[in-house]
Amino acid sequence: MFKKILLIITLLYAAAAFAAVDVNKATAAELDGVKGIGPGLSTKILDERNHGDFKDWSDFIARVGGVGEKTAARLSAEGLTVNGKKFSAAAVAKAKAKADKAEKADKKAKDAQATDKNGAGSKGKQEGKSTAAVPAVQQPTAAAPAATAADTATKK
């Protein structure tokens, strides 16, 4: 009987040691309990979490300085999760590709806006010319003010 109780206590202790720690719910002490997270990193994590919960591992990696994919994989192996999910390099790569695609689309839209603002529109692109290479037309400068009667009188 004593051996069974001792076995149950040991199993419960082992299960508690390997319990997942969710980065969005953990306290500083719980984060410090994960191997590889010290007081400095747990402070960074909590500071970033104050700005809003982490959406996924890629968001966690982007917002917490000093954490890259290798560190994230190691922390996940030690029991750290983000919204209950373990780290997956494939998921991070997919999220990164999606972000890159959105960034390219934004850049393309901004370039199109800048071209339209310059007044050349798409005409320069249709002719195969870059709108940046088209010289700007100079506006005529204002004429010098007319000489006053006093000035002409002093010149005589």
69-102 in b/e burial notation, b at 16+ Cβ within 10 A?
Answer: eebbbebbeebbbbeeebbeeeebeebeeeeeee
- Each residue of 99-111: pLDDT tens digit? 778 788 888 888 8
Token code pair at residue 127: 């002719």
Q: Which residues contact 63 (CB under 8 A, 6 or more apart)?
A: 48, 51, 54
How many Å separate Cα 22 from the centre of its chain? Answer: 21
Q: Say how many Å lie between the first and final Cα of the chain, rounded.
A: 129
More confident residue, 126 or 38: 38
For residues 18-23, average pLDDT:
81
More confident residue, 99 or 86: 86
For residues 26-39, average pLDDT:
92
User: Side-chain half-sphere of 77: how many Cα atoms within 13 Å?
Assistant: 8
Is residue 56 within 8 Å of 91, Cβ to Cβ? Answer: yes
Mean pLDDT of the chain: 77
Of 4-18, 77-91, 136-150, highest mean pLDDT: 77-91
Is 80 exceeded by the pLDDT of residue 87?
yes
